[in-house]
Amino acid sequence: MKMFTQTNDIWGECPTNQNEAILWIEKAARNCYRSEDRIVEGSGITFVNNIIKHGHWSVLEHSNMVIRSLHKVNNPQNFFSPFRSKYLHFAMKDDFLYIAGNFRAWMEELNLPNIAELYEFQDSQNNSFIITAPDEIPPELRAVTVKFRTDRAISHELVRHRPCAFCLSGETEIRTFTGANLYTIKELYNIFNTPNSRTQYYLQKFTRIRTQTNSGDIAPAKILSVTASGKKEVFEVTASNGYKIKASKDHIFFTELGEKKLKNIKIGEKVLLNTKAVEFINFSAEVVSIEPKGIEETYDLEVDHPAHNFCAEGFIVHNSQESQRYCSYSKELEIILPWQYENLPIKYSDNPSSILQSVKNLTPEQKVQVDCFLIWKRVIGITERTYRYLLKHERAEQARSILPNCTATRIVVTAYIPEWKHIFNLRTNKAAYPGIRNLINPIKETLFFKKLLGNL
């Protein structure tokens, strides 16, 4: 068993040069398989194309491509129509329109099958747009990559930060589980993004909203976070019973035929609904109209429930890390030392006899802390031996189910500067889990991030 403390490695801003961008993506992708040693000159494009071929497009999100309008524009709305993806980001600077997105966002928006055609698109934009030079990119459209070494539990908190998971109009009403209170999603955003807010503490600790389980029952769900997704084109969906909701075209609804994005729902299809009243009555109703309602600020909401959905306006709507499936710990299990044991009055590497000698000089509180650590270490040792036994008879993807939350993992995170600001505000707050606070605080305080955040 190897024990580590948490670390971070700021890679920097995503490169815009094509060759450097491919290498960047390869580094992030190989982190999943612990195969960084296989990176050689020219390996990037072949590796990335294989990733795309097998449908693992998520690694393409560790990139950034920014285009700028060739001429100054008086009305930015006129330029929004060609590119409507919720995963593209827009900004104005010196009367020029800038549009940014990672490679996956651009390829999905333009329906491109490979990286080569994306490069052809870059070269063909001379009539309307040009590729933006790195020093011209607006602050809010700069993407930064950081690699963390942390435990599985904290990595699960980091992967929640995927902007645009939901895109609902700010006026969308969310009813609490009991039906007693209503909040608009914009109100929830303001509450959840106010530091040290008592209302936020109350909502997170005591308030639950409605989610639908796989069996069709309505259950309570805790709100984890609410984020702003920026301005998007929204459409108003009207059901035959009069219920209405405004959402982006890519927002996922639950229908009688399964989950569907709004853009794929046809008039006459039945969507799943839950009564707006106190009672938990589920039913379905036909969609009678889907009408464009212009550009609005949109928001995302994440719930702590495996069903990953919630009730909004009566509608049921949907809510790169090292892989334990492919990475085997057959030689030695890597463990992240829990934050409460980082400053033990004894060294955790001491042998049992020296520990017993050291304990004699400790206070009662320190003795309890050491005792808890020794119990924890003993359990981890038993788990490691059991895992190794399972590996003799099962594949890594089967044996991994026994691994503890403190198993070490490496996770590469790429986000735009506004999202990093949100991560810093949420994860360094006094109410945040100490482990993730200890991980995030050091990078927040670096001159690199202070400079980028100061330019917003």
Q: What is the CATH number of the domain that holds 440?
A: 3.30.1360.170
Domain co-membership, 299 together with 181:
yes
363 pLDDT more than 70: yes
164 pLDDT more than 60: no
Q: Which of 70-84, 118-132, 298-312, 358-372 has the lowest mean pLDDT?
A: 70-84
CATH of the domain at 173: 2.170.16.10
Domain end, chosen from 318, 350, 376, is at 318
Domain co-membership, 128 together with 43:
yes
Count of alpha carbons within 13 Å of 156, Cβ hemisphere only? 8
3 state DSSP class of 191: helix
Domain co-membership, 81 together with 112:
yes
Q: Which of 12-16, 111-115, 317-321, 424-428 has the lowest mean pLDDT?
A: 317-321
Q: Which of 64-68, 202-206, 217-221 has the lowest mean pLDDT?
A: 202-206
Domain co-membership, 21 together with 84:
yes
Q: Are residues 16 and 346 in contact, defined by beta-carbon separation less than 8 angstroms?
A: no
Q: Which of 158-162, 289-293, 331-335 has the lowest mean pLDDT?
A: 158-162
Read off the pLDDT band of 9 (50, 70, 90).
Answer: very high
Domain co-membership, 178 together with 305:
yes
85 pLDDT more than 60: yes
* pLDDT, greater one: 249 or 243: 243
Domain co-membership, 274 together with 225:
yes
Instruction: Give residue 260's domain range.
Output: 166-318
What is d(CA 209, CA 182) in angstroms, rounded to the nearest whole number? 10
What is d(CA 220, CA 178) in angstroms, rounded to the nearest whole number? 9
Domain co-membership, 308 together with 371:
no
pLDDT for position 110 = 86
Domain co-membership, 136 together with 202:
no
Structure tokens at 156: 């699960």
Q: How far is CA 54 from CA 18, 38, 49, 113, in A?
A: 22, 19, 9, 12
* pLDDT, greater one: 349 or 57: 57
Domain co-membership, 230 together with 312:
yes
Domain co-membership, 155 together with 243:
no
Domain end, chosen from 279, 302, 318, is at 318
Q: How many CB atoms lie within 10 A of CB 215?
A: 7
3 state DSSP class of 257: coil
Q: Average pLDDT for residues 373-386, to the nearest whole number?
A: 91
Domain end, chosen from 293, 318, 343, is at 318
Q: Please give the mean pLDDT across all residues of the chain.
A: 82
pLDDT for position 166 = 44
Q: Which of 119-123, 236-240, 400-404 has the lowest mean pLDDT?
A: 119-123
What is d(CA 208, CA 221) in angstroms, rounded to the nearest whole number? 5
b/e for 150-178, b at 16 or more Cβ within 10 A? bbbbbbebbeebebbbbbbbbebbbbbbe
Domain co-membership, 287 together with 399:
no
Instruction: Count how many domains the chain has.
Output: 3
Domain co-membership, 305 together with 179:
yes
pLDDT for position 214 = 65
pLDDT for position 56 = 74
